[in-house]
Chains A and B, each alone.
Chain A
């Protein structure tokens, strides 16, 4: 019984939140890593691309809610997601057309593209705030919980409760599906293979007759879909506020770099490494240990390795260590 309580407490405060947060980071990092691998620059506009896609989704969700379209217990936003993806895709294709293509044709150095992407970031950031406003927006509906802490306690008779939000469940399921489809696409389809070829060796790919503009187009489409899905899941789980999405850029880049820029598998691993390190290293283990230890050994302090003030420091220390000892990231991406 004591042991079960410990497991439940740990799941409730560490495993479940970190899994959901990790999935959101992983989806974001996948987008960053794809652009880095194929278009060869760090896209600083990614956070705001997420915000843009989410904004379209939210606007569609509101419209659907107003005319009474819904998914019952599931959030309506899932239904609006395809529209968000379409809107976001249109937006990124437009920016590629009017901004990135010009620089690509000139074969500029990646660092210039990075600065260009920062410009795009500010424009998108302003656009999102202009359309939907800088404040918090609510668009989640349907059942909020799969199981609440109270229900869990009543059901099991344990002292500790385990809460699982609907959005956490959806996040995990969607992330698995999206990642599965992406990997199947990259390894089994002709377009996916040509993207990987283009990423590995641009000149050789061009010689083999791969159309670069088509590869770029498909990449942007995938990135738009990933960004919108990640942004919407995050917004459902927490809340939508343009500035928060801008701030999300930091952990997303940390995830992509830790995993290895350009490596899709690495992006996923990196997302979970960052999420778990933020939550576990600063976790106060007292609650769990009290259940596990015999009474005489129970800790009186919090058994906290580090105060939560340092949670961001933790992820960046991990980033530093990885860069020092394995500059290509955990999964052998491209050297940064």
Chain B
């Protein structure tokens, strides 16, 4: 152990020694320990894949190289995450943050570290609607769509189906509450009526009370914003059993095979939405991750790649690695106009920018940043037929 420690120290010293003025450090702050520790290694590898691609092209900022500096956000411990980010900025001198992952720690790093230090942050996976309105001085972006956007998509789906009266149940946590609030406000804005909003707890013994109340309130459809393997399924099952509702609309947490195996046969005609990526960007990403031996199918790997790529492209576009200067260029490279850039084409993008051209970074998730700099996201609208999800269209 001691030997290994020494070796590690030596390696660090070596790396530090080889670091030159040409190196640009990017903080990769993700929860390497904690509830999503099984996802984060793949996310970090995907982000580093983008950095490697840029370094190999040699076209970045006249030969500068990107160096990844990982730090642990823990996903849940805000003070640990804040300390980690603080350390990266003050002692490592990073020029941008790819992260953080969970909404809570992302908000904490943003307000305690990023804003005071003027550091650009691009989160691949924080989806809380609260972050859209956070005070960020134009420093915060995300490549994952906000749940507020999902609420709008769900409301649109109902409007397009001429459904005007619904009851809503959500899982009683930050995710469920945030999604439910955004859905209800978008739906009511569109002229719909929500008869009752009733939260449900996960893993509870009995959901008769909730279903009874929702049935009394009535509505054409029951909107279930919960988890497929937990309370959400319990609610649907209780509603089907009592005959309270026969059509359901489901949020992204409800997408899963478990629910189809269990109650799918009784849910024909129910529908919902789930974030989805498709098209040339997704295929290209699958190809390069396979080649590099990175697990690109894991959650939020595409968003991580895109977040790292956006930081580099924005730096190139601004001609500067200083956060204060390139922060305004993030939206420029992500959106139209310009030539579409897919994964594996980062070198080409850097050259176009260097030659004075414009790029429209599509990436692995068809990146388009809207509002305060967050991904619009692509949602797949599905309908249930024969206990299976059938695509209706993409939003």
Contact = CB atoms under 8 A, between A and B. Distances in A.
A302 interface: yes
Contact of A238 (B198, B213, B229, B234): B234
B234 A308 contact: no
Residue of B208, B211, B238, B242 with most partner-chain A CB within 10 A: B208
Interface in A178-222: none
B161 interface: no
Interface stretch (A121-129, A239-247, A316-324): A239-247
Interface string B162-203: 000000000010000000000000000000000010111101
A148 B243 CA distance: 8
A323 B239 CA distance: 35
Contacts of A312: 201
Interface stretch (A64-72, A73-81, A111-119, A280-288): A280-288
A17 interface: yes
Nearest to A275: B206
B78 to A, nearest CB: 26
A286 B217 contact: yes
Interface string A123-165: 0000000000001101000000000111000000000010101
A174 interface: no
A278 B198 contact: no
Contacts of B262: 136, 138, 239
A304 interface: yes
A279 B212 contact: yes
Interface residues of B, number: 32
15 contacts: A13-B212, A13-B216, A17-B242, A136-B229, A136-B262, A239-B262, A279-B208, A282-B209, A282-B212, A283-B209, A284-B196, A284-B217, A286-B216, A287-B216, A302-B217
Contact of A308 (B213, B237, B244): B213
Q: Considering the complex of A and B, which 4 residue pairs feature the smallest CB-CB distances, nearest first?
A: A149-B243, A17-B208, A284-B216, A13-B212
Given A13-B212, A149-B242, 12 more contacts: A138-B262, A149-B243, A234-B205, A239-B234, A239-B262, A247-B204, A282-B212, A283-B216, A308-B209, A308-B210, A309-B198, A311-B210
A251 interface: yes
Q: Which of the four size classes fits the interface of chain A?
A: 35 or more
Contacts of A138: 261-262
A95 B313 CA distance: 64
Query: Majority SS of interface residues in chain B?
Result: helix
A18 interface: yes
Main secondary structure of the interface of A (DSSP, over half): helix
A309 B196 contact: no
A161 to B, nearest CB: 5
A285 B216 contact: yes
Interface string A3-23: 000000000111001100100
A304 B209 CA distance: 11
Nearest to A303: B216
B215 A287 contact: yes
A252 to B, nearest CB: 9
A296 interface: no
Nearest to A287: B216
Contacts of B135: none
B292 interface: no
Contact of A13 (B204, B205, B242): B242
Contact of B206 (A12, A13, A17, A136): A17
B203 A13 contact: no
Contacts of A12: 242-243
Contacts of B210: 308, 311
A239 B233 CA distance: 10
Contacts of A251: 205
Interface in A276-300: 278-279, 282-288
A247 B234 CA distance: 15
Given A135-B229, A163-B243, A287-B215, A244 B203 contact: yes
A140 to B, nearest CB: 10
B316 to A, nearest CB: 47
A136 B258 contact: yes
B77 interface: no
A248 interface: yes
Contacts of B218: 287
Contacts of A148: 243
A106 interface: no
A171 to B, nearest CB: 12
A334 B294 CA distance: 63
Contacts of B211: 13
Contact of A243 (B203, B215, B217, B243): B203
